[in-house]
């Protein structure tokens, strides 16, 4: 019975991570731009001065504040408000990924020194390695790369 669910779950996961990769391409550029701004230097110094467990606070707060936008966007989409729903989802996801990615870049060694986070990151990394080794992933990456080069 469990094998019946493998294909749909793999398809959903591949779709999700492909969309996530698209957002990451956008957020990577935003993160690089933000990292060069002097305005955020004080915030960067404060975040890097935090200890291993304290670093999780800004990461968790960012996720807790921005994650409810997904059900809100689903509600808007479900009630026929496609454009507002799409805007809420995209804005919240790009903002969340940008902030979390930057926090992770600044504090990766501290975060990975926490056993639970290290376990979760290791699990996520193994899952990503598996997905990236599939033919579907390589094909979608090639198609996206070709489309990106044409623009």
pLDDT at 4: 65
The total number of structural domains in the chain stands at 1
CB 106 within 8 A of CB 44: yes
Run means of pLDDT, 10 residues per run, the chain, 151 residues: 64 70 73 75 84 85 88 90 90 84 86 89 89 78 74 64
Q: How far apart are CA 67 and CA 64, in angstroms?
A: 6
* CA torsion angle 89 94 100 103 (round to 10): -160
pLDDT at 87: 92
Domain membership of residue 139 as a residue range:
2-150
Q: How far apart are CA 106 and CA 85, in angstroms?
A: 32
Backbone angle region of 124, left / alpha / beta, with phi > 0 → left and psi within -120 to 50 → alpha: alpha
pLDDT at 126: 92
**Stated pTM of the model:** 0.64
pLDDT at 75: 92
């Amino acid at each position: 019975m469990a094998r019946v669910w493998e294909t749909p779950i793999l398809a959903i996961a591949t779709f999700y991570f492909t969309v996530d990769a698209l957002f990451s391409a956008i957020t990577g550029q935003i993160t690089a731009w933000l990292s060069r701004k002097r305005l955020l230097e004080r915030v960067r110094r404060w975040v890097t001065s935090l200890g291993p467990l304290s670093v999780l606070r800004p990461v968790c707060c960012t996720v807790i504040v921005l994650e409810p936008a997904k059900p809100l966007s689903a509600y808007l989409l479900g009630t026929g408000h496609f454009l507002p729903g799409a805007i809420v989802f995209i804005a919240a996801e790009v903002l969340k990924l940008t902030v979390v990615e930057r926090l992770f870049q600044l504090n990766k060694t501290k975060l990975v020194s926490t056993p639970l986070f290290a376990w979760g990151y290791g699990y996520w990394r193994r899952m990503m390695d598996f997905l990236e080794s599939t033919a579907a992933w390589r094909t979608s990456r090639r198609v996206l790369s070709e489309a990106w080069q044409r623009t």
